[in-house]
Structure 1
Amino acid sequence: MKASQEDAPPRPTVSERPRGELAITVIGQDRPGIVADVSEALARLGANLTDSTMTRLRGHFTWTLVCSGPGAAEVEAALAPVAADGRLLATVREVGAEVEATVAGEPHLMSVHGADRLGIVAAVTRVLAEVGGNITDLTTRLSGPLYVLVAEVDLPPGTAESVAKRLAEVAARLDVEVTLRATETDVL
């Protein structure tokens, strides 16, 4: 006999759960309902999903999320049925609280497009790393022979002009187009 929701113990509110944070990844063959299955399993545990990003990559589902609430073992057990058919892999890892950056960078958007070839990501991201730039979001896509990269980047103050010049040199060597432009900081 199925228990009614009235028989279930009350769920704790977010403020009643001062437990740690977990990083969860779910990867595998795409199918409808994965997000619903995973988020329902987490909600039943009282886990609060705080940050996430999800995409499909060539028919494969990928989701990375951070949640607060129960321990890693509880979450792993709750996600086991979602991955039981072997089409998905769910991993859970404890993470520390978010650390605020001491020096904020200047937000920029970098885009790269051109014929697909080895080393595009390595070359342009090396330019950013050499000046202490931090990539906060990166997406790549191969569409036929065209390779596209879009990245949100925080650059140290005053470095954008020299980074753009160096990226132009790398782009010429790779025979791709690279643009770098300042963006506004997101306000949530």
Structure 2
Amino acid sequence: MEAVLIVTISGPDRAGLVEQLAAQVTAHGGNWEHSRMTHLADRFVGLLQITVPGKQQQDLESAIYAIPDLEVTISQAKSSAQLPKEIIFELELIGSDHPGIVRDIFSSLAQAGANVESLRTQTSNAAESGGLIFKANARLSCSYSMNLDSLRTKLEAIAQDILVDFVLK
């Protein structure tokens, strides 16, 4: 039986780190299925979903933990099968950055019953004001019974309060 592992990594950015991880996965008969990796501040961070034959799981985990200068967390998932999705939609948002902006937006989405499937945020310098511009792209899911017009109305209200523009599609 195969084990499904969710691996989080964080370490100083350096060439060859992804190759080291991939080599260990391959050496232990595993399959690298999904991942998200990025450079944040001076760190390289990532999330991986790996399947590995059950008899190789412990050896693979030990090999990953042994990679130098890498903080690792490994959790076992129940299955690699994707749950059936309901309604999937995209949210694009831009506005002036301020503390609490993510909380303000995503608490409204959670209260409406929307689930975050993926989220990417970034800030950049605003040329005219000298402040920061906040941008977010999110992939969201919700049940078929959710009223998207109601969700849009909630987002419009919060967008006015925190001065952001959004597109929900």
* Counterpart for residue 104 of structure 2: 123
Matched, 1:167 2:155: yes
**TM-score w.r.t. structure 2 length?**
0.85
Aligned counterpart in structure 2 of residue 151 of structure 1, from 138, 146, 156: 138
Pairwise CA distance, 1:40: 0.5
* Counterpart for residue 79 of structure 2: 97
Pairwise CA distance, 1:77: 1.6
Matched, 1:112 2:93: yes
Q: Could you report, residue by residue, the CA deviation over 1:50-96 in whole angstroms, capped at 9, with x for unpaired residues?
A: 222212223321111111114553223212342x2x3x212212111
* Counterpart for residue 11 of structure 2: 28
In 2, the alpha carbon distance for the partners of 1:45 and 1:24 equals 15
What secondary structure, in the 3-state scheme, does the structure 1 residue paired with 2:79 have? coil
What secondary structure, in the 3-state scheme, does the structure 2 residue paired with 1:126 have? helix
State the 4+ residue runs in structure 1 displaced beyond 6 angstroms: none
In 1, the alpha carbon distance for the partners of 2:87 and 2:13 equals 36
Query: Quick check: 2:4–2:80 contact (8 Å CA) kept in 1?
Result: no
In 2, the alpha carbon distance for the partners of 1:19 and 1:99 equals 12
Pairwise CA distance, 1:156: 2.7
Between Structure 1 and Structure 2, whose CA radius of gyration is higher? 1
Q: Could you report, residue by residue, the CA deviation over 1:16-62 in whole angstroms, capped at 9, with x for unpaired residues?
A: xx321111111122111111110111111111112222122233211
Matched, 1:54 2:37: yes
RMSD over aligned Cα, in angstroms? 1.8
**Identity across the alignment (%):** 23
Q: Could you report, residue by residue, the CA deviation over 1:122-149 in whole angstroms, capped at 9, with x for unpaired residues?
A: 1111122112211111011111211111
Code of the aligned partner of 1:133 = A
Q: Any unmatched runs of 5+ in structure 1?
A: 1-17, 182-188
In 1, the alpha carbon distance for the partners of 2:82 and 2:124 equals 37
Specify which structure has the bigger relative contact order, considering alpha-carbon pairs within 8 angstroms and separated by 6 or more residues. Answer: 2
Q: 1:131 to 1:58 in 2, by over 3 A?
A: same
Pairwise CA distance, 1:113: 1.1
Query: Quick check: 2:8–2:47 contact (8 Å CA) kept in 1?
Result: yes
**TM-score w.r.t. structure 1 length?**
0.77
Aligned residues: 160
